[in-house]
Chains A and B, each alone.
Chain A
Amino acid sequence: AQTVTQSQPEMSVQEAETVTLSCTYDTSENNYYLFWYKQPPSRQMILVIRQEAYKQQNATENRFSVNFQKAAKSFSLKISDSQLGDTAMYFCAFRETSGSRLTFGEGTQLTVNP
């Protein structure tokens, strides 16, 4: 069974600075997808970024980028130029290529301070 671990329950960053959220996972699969979801106070689950394991290039979406280290089974999220609206709970998630089930980490509560 796959497991996903987020070792930082809480983090804070000053507005306009850069922050990195950590995620590690364990799987015996070679092909899979990794995701970061954002959950603001509204509770909505918002997909931030996704990475396909067979792609070596790290995914980027505007201010959000990942550092995907397949051998180390690490998938960190970097948020550049942090904004107050980035304050949210962030979840790392794993999905096998051949399946549909998502396995989530414990979550990291990020607070962006003015």
Chain B
Amino acid sequence: EAQVTQNPRYLITVTGKKLTVTCSQNMNHEYMSWYRQDPGLGLRQIYYSMNVEVTDKGDVPEGYKVSRKEKRNFPLILESPSPNQTSLYFCASSRTGVRAVTEAFFGQGTRLTVV
């Protein structure tokens, strides 16, 4: 089954304690990205990756890091979480290119609370 798997689904942590949210896809997609969802703001892109070892900032990258060492995995790292990073996070993947299938596949979301 084609899917994007995020873990954990829920996480409560304290300010300053490093954490990683994992994301894995089994569709051999080149493009992967992270979004955060906040009320009234929709989904905003944090970081994206066009392929292995190629990553770039999205609209709200401050306080986040990513890596793409393997095609299937795209972890999101919060080195020193702060309360303003409390949000719902989504990982997504898709093919790239003009002729690519246009649909993006989303993970199930990670609800992060930083206290």
> Which A residues have a C-beta under 8 Å from some C-beta of B?
4, 6, 9, 33, 35, 42-45, 47, 50, 52, 91, 95, 97-98, 100-107
* A4 proximity list for chain B (CB < 8 A): 42
Residues of B in contact, count (CB < 8 Å): 27
Nearest CB in chain A to that of B90: its residue: A45
Q: Report chain A residues within 8 Å CB of B111.
A: 43
- Taking CB as reference atom, which chain A residue is nearest B94? A100
B109 touches A102 (CB 8 A): no
B16-24, B61-69, B71-79, B99-107 - the one binding chain A: B99-107
Provide the bound-state CA to CA distance between A4 and B104, in Å: 17
Q: A43-B111, A100-B50 are in contact. List 10 more A-B contacts (CB 8 A).
A: A6-B42, A52-B102, A91-B42, A97-B98, A100-B31, A100-B95, A100-B104, A102-B33, A103-B45, A104-B42
**Does B41 lie within 8 Å of A106, measured CB to CB?**
yes
Tell me, rounded to whole Å, the shortest Cβ–Cβ distance linking A50 to chain B: 6
**A105 cross-chain contacts in B, Cβ below 8 A:** 42
Contact of A44 among B33, B104, B106 (CB under 8 A): B106
- Chain B residues with CB under 8 Å of A33's CB are 102
Is chain A's binding surface mostly helix, strand, loop or mixed? Answer: loop
CA–CA, A19 and B41, complex, Å: 23
A44 to B88, CA, bound (A): 11
Q: Is the pair A101, B45 in contact by a Cβ cutoff of 8 Å?
A: yes
Flag if A101 contacts B33 (CB, 8 Å).
yes
The 14 sampled A-B contact pairs (Cβ below 8 Å) are: A4-B42, A33-B102, A43-B111, A44-B108, A44-B109, A45-B90, A45-B106, A50-B103, A91-B42, A100-B48, A101-B48, A102-B43, A104-B35, A107-B42
Within 8 Å by CB of A9, from B35, B40, B50, B102, lies B40
